[in-house]
Amino acid sequence: MRSKIEANVREFLKLFSAKNIDFDRIETLLNPEAEYRPHPEFGAFFTAKGIRSELERQLTLYDECDFQIINLTSNDHQIMMERRDYQTQNDKRVEAKVAAIFEFDEQARIINWREYWDLTAIQRQLGITIEQMRLYMAH
């Protein structure tokens, strides 16, 4: 099971860097009742369809998106990882240092996804106020 969930999460993240993102495939890697919390300060998103909708919205904010996995550890139902995420927004390349936790169901689909990153560091790189950052993340 461990190798299956690791392969699924790597595929999941790789899908975001494609020119034409396959949101159908992203949705199939999520449990229909999945939960996604992109940051502790912001609300959660529920169901695969709801998460897909939010990801489609978020990805309209970026010109490019890429994930670099630094460390990854797993058991049969969870993955914890340290990543560097890179997004280009308004010709500015932004780096986010991210800690993420993925939990999986018995079919190796993501049932829970939580991320932790430094909100202020992203805000500074974009040259925006905290209020503007909150609007980016509003749902």
For domain 2-137, give the fold: Nuclear Transport Factor 2; Chain: A, (3.10.450)
The Cα 62–Cα 19 span in angstroms is: 12
pTM: 0.91
**pLDDT for position 139:** 56
The Cα 63–Cα 75 span in angstroms is: 34
Site of tokens 């909708």: 53
How would you label 82-100 residue by residue, b for 16+ Cβ within 10 Å and e otherwise?
ebebbbebeeeebebebeb
pLDDT range class, residue 63, cuts 50, 70, 90: confident
pLDDT tens-digit profile of 3-51? Answer: 999 999 999 999 998 888 999 999 999 999 999 999 888 889 999 999 9
